[in-house]
Chain A
Amino acid sequence: AQSVSQHNHHVILSEAASLELGCNYSYGGTVNLFWYVQYPGQHLQLLLKYFSGDPLVKGIKGFEAEFIKSKFSFNLRKPSVQWSDTAEYFCAVNAYNTDKLIFGTGTRLQVFP
């Protein structure tokens, strides 16, 4: 069965600091990978996705993620965070040829001015 792990449960940063959030999944086959963001009081929104091709994908708001197949990882990065990035970040995995999207436990990011 698929599972997704996010090791950072709560991250606190100052503005302009760099961000990296870890995501690992367990599934031996081909996967589609996603990062979603949930701002306080809002619905889940897609930050970026990886289906195939260049393992370094760029998303909205300056976020990027790198798929490393050998490590079963899809870490999210941003060179310089802003206060407005304060939110909950979820990694999600879809095993190819299935309909299911499975989420990690999420990482709460707090950015202080």
Chain B
Amino acid sequence: DAMVIQNPRYQVTQFGKPVTLSCSQTLNHNVMYWYQQKSSQAPKLLFHYYDKDFNNEADTPDNFQSRRPNTSFCFLDIRSPGLGDAAMYLCATSSAGQGRGYTEAFFGQGTRLTVV
């Protein structure tokens, strides 16, 4: 039973054409994360939501945006994809933060983005 679901698994987009990646979860976790993982590198945290509170990493380019309309869904928008944005994008969830304790992060299968 998939708990963190990312769609699509593979996405091809044109250079400069906006693209949206989606993530949904059935765990009712309050925290959702987006990571970028390039080949043979560690997942790099782009941003995360604690409930509706958005937390951007300082080095995340402005080209990357996110939306979380409700607990279950979270979207990653890339406004103008460049060749350097080709990567695997990972969504994860956890029950965490602000003195409420932390559990492990659960990851989706990822969306592999190709920019042509």
Interface residues of A (CB under 8 A from B): 32, 34, 36, 42-46, 49, 51, 88, 90, 92, 94, 96-106, 108
- Decide yes or no whether B99 CB sits under 8 A from chain A: yes
In which size bucket is the chain B interface?
Answer: 20 to 34
Contact: B105 with A43, CB < 8 Å? no
- Decide yes or no whether B7 CB sits under 8 A from chain A: no
- Decide yes or no whether B68 CB sits under 8 A from chain A: no
- Decide yes or no whether B55 CB sits under 8 A from chain A: yes
A46 with B97: in contact, given A101-B45, A105-B42, A106-B40 (CB under 8 Å)?
Answer: no
Number of A-B contacts (CB under 8 A): 59
Q: Chain A residues with Cβ under 8 A from B98's Cβ?
A: 97, 99
Interface residues of B (CB under 8 A from A): 31, 33, 35, 40-45, 48, 50, 55, 90, 92, 94, 96-99, 102, 104-105, 107-110
| Cα of A45 to Cα of B108 in the assembled complex, Å | 10
Contact: A94 with B102, CB < 8 Å? yes
Contact: B48 with A99, CB < 8 Å? yes
Q: Chain A residues with Cβ under 8 A from B45's Cβ?
A: 100-103
